[in-house]
Amino acid sequence: MSQPIRILELRSVRGTGGGPEKTILLGTARTDPARFAITVCYIRDARDPVFSIDAKAATLPVNYVELVERHSFDPSIWPALCRIVRERRIDIVHSHDYKTNLLARLLEKTGRAKALSTVHGWTGHSRRERWVYYPLDKRILSGFTRLIAVSSDIRSELVAAGARPERVSVVLNGIDHRTFKRDRSRAAAARVRWGFSLADVVVGAVGRTEPQKRFDLLIEAVAALAPRRPELRLLIAGDGSRREQLEALARTHLPRHVYQFIGNTPDVGQVHHALDVFVQSSDYEGTPNAVLEAMAFETPIVATDVGGTAELVVHGVHGLIVPPGDRSQLVAAIEKVLDDRALAGTRVAAARTRVEHELSFDARMRSVEAVYSDLATQLKPARAAAAA
C-alpha cells in the first residue's frame, strides 16, 4: 500500500502491567513507521494510584495516548475512543484484553476499523472473571476477523469457543536479545543488592504474586531442599494480591535470612544476575515473558508445562519442564540443576541461541506485521472508495 497502515494498539490495565506491556511498547518502537503508523492507547482508571505505563512509554519512540475513565464502566470512553479512531483515521484496532476486545469488535461492527486481537490468555482468578468476563470474551473473540494467539493452547481454546481456525495465528512472544543479555561482571553487585553472598545458591522467580503463579509451591520446594542445602536462598520479584500471604508462608517454612521478596523492579537483569536457577511454578500461563527473559539472561530454567512454556523451552534442551502442581518433581528438577552445573550450562547456551534466532523480538514482529498486511488487503477497496 502507498500509505502506511494505521493501527491503534488498545489496552486496559491496572498498576504496572506485565508481559503484554513489553510486547506492545517494544513492538511499536521497533516497527517501520513508513509501513505501519501505530498509536498506542491505554485506558487508565482514574482511581489507580500506581499506573505507570505512561512513564514506560515516555522512554520509547512511540505515539502514546490515554483515555482516563472514572470507573470500570465509564460510558464516556466510547465517544473518546471513536474520536481517536476518526481523527487518526485508524485502519486496524489491535486489542489485548477482554475490555478492549469488546470495544474493538464494536468499532468493527460500526464500520470504523478492522478488529484484531492478540490473545494473551485468561489468567485472572476472580469469580467474575472466570464465570462472566472470560466466557463472554471468548464468545466475542469468535467473531473477530483475525486473532493472534500467544500459544497453541490458547489457539485451541479459541477454536473450541467458536473461532474459525483459519483466522487464528499462533505467534509466540519474543524478546529483545540485544537488551536482555547477561554480563557476568554484574553478579557480585546484584547479590549484594538483594542481600546475598557469592557463596549462596539463589533460586528465584519473577512475576505477579497472584494465585495462578503458585509461588506457594516454590516456597515449599525451597523449604524441602533447605535441610540438605543450607546455602540455598529464595528471591521472588513481583507484587500482587497474595504477597502478604506468601510472605507469611515463607516465614512459616524458612528462616528469615533465607528468603527475599523485593516487589516490582524496573531492572529484571539485576534479578537474573543474582540467580543460580529461575523457576516458573505456575498453574497457568500464556507465553511467559519471564521464561523468555531467563533464556536471554542464560539463567538455568525449571518451569511447569503450562500454556506456551514447552513451546519456548524444549525439555532437556533449553531447560527442565515439570508437571504443574507437583512439588516433588519441582524439587527434583531444581536439585538436578544444582547437581550438574555443566549440563545446566549447556542448556542455557542452547536457550540463548534460541532467543537470538527463533524467539527474537524481530522475528515476532515480522509475524505480527504479516498479519497487519494480510488485514490491510481488505482495506484497499474501502480506501479506493474514500479516495474517489
**Residue 177 in this model has a pLDDT that exceeds 80:** yes
Of the pLDDT bands very low, low, confident and very high (cuts 50, 70, 90), residue 30 is: confident
Single out the residue of 201, 24, 42 nearest to residue 118, CA to CA: 24
pLDDT for 388: 44
Residues 199, 348: one domain? Answer: yes
Quote the percentage of the chain above a pLDDT of 90: 88
Of the pLDDT bands very low, low, confident and very high (cuts 50, 70, 90), residue 380 is: low
Residues 338, 203: one domain? Answer: yes
Residues 194, 336: one domain? Answer: yes
Whole-angstrom CA distances from 378 to 33, 113, 369 are 20, 11, 15
| Residue 244, in any domain of the structure | yes
pLDDT for 356: 96
Residues 194, 342: one domain? Answer: yes
pLDDT for 381: 56
| Residue 208, in any domain of the structure | yes
Residues 236, 125: one domain? Answer: no
384 compared with 363, residue with greater pLDDT: 363
Of the pLDDT bands very low, low, confident and very high (cuts 50, 70, 90), residue 15 is: confident
Question: Rounded distance, CA 74 to CA 321, Å?
Answer: 43
Chain segment 258-273, per-residue pLDDT in tens: 999 999 998 999 999 9
* Mean pLDDT estimate for the chain: 94
* pLDDT (average), residues 109-122: 94
383 compared with 272, residue with greater pLDDT: 272
Chain segment 237-256, per-residue pLDDT in tens: 999 999 999 999 999 999 99
| Residue 179, in any domain of the structure | no
Helices 215-225, 327-339: axis angle to 10 degrees equals 60
Residues 210, 320: one domain? Answer: yes
Residues 228, 328: one domain? Answer: yes
Which strands sit side by side in the sheet containing 146-149, from one edge to the other? 63-69, 36-45, 5-12, 92-95, 114-119, 146-149, 168-170
Residues 125, 200: one domain? Answer: no
Chain segment 318-372, per-residue pLDDT in tens: 999 999 999 999 999 999 999 999 999 999 999 999 999 999 999 999 999 999 9
**Residue 387 in this model has a pLDDT that exceeds 50:** no
Single out the residue of 174, 56, 163, 54 nearest to residue 117, CA to CA: 163
| Residue 301, in any domain of the structure | yes
Tally of structural domains, the chain: 2
Chain segment 60-103, per-residue pLDDT in tens: 999 999 999 999 999 999 999 999 999 999 999 999 999 999 99
Chain segment 139-175, per-residue pLDDT in tens: 999 999 999 999 999 999 999 999 999 999 999 999 9
Residues 238, 206: one domain? Answer: yes
* CATH number (domain holding residue 158): 3.40.50.2000
| Residue 255, in any domain of the structure | yes
Whole-angstrom CA distances from 249 to 57, 219, 241, 246, 356 are 36, 8, 14, 5, 38
Residues 119, 190: one domain? Answer: no
Locate cell 511499536: which residue? 28
Chain segment 218-235, per-residue pLDDT in tens: 999 999 999 999 999 999
Of the pLDDT bands very low, low, confident and very high (cuts 50, 70, 90), residue 379 is: confident
| Residue 270, in any domain of the structure | yes
The reported pTM is: 0.88
| Residue 329, in any domain of the structure | yes
| Residue 272, in any domain of the structure | yes
Residues 221, 336: one domain? Answer: yes
**Residue 189 in this model has a pLDDT that exceeds 80:** yes
Locate cell 504474586: which residue? 209
Residues 209, 352: one domain? Answer: yes
Of the pLDDT bands very low, low, confident and very high (cuts 50, 70, 90), residue 124 is: confident
Question: Rounded distance, CA 150 to CA 360, Å?
Answer: 14
Radius of gyration of the chain (CA): 22
* pLDDT (average), residues 190-198: 93
**Residue 183 in this model has a pLDDT that exceeds 80:** yes
Residue-number span of the structural domain to which 139 is assigned: 5-174+361-387
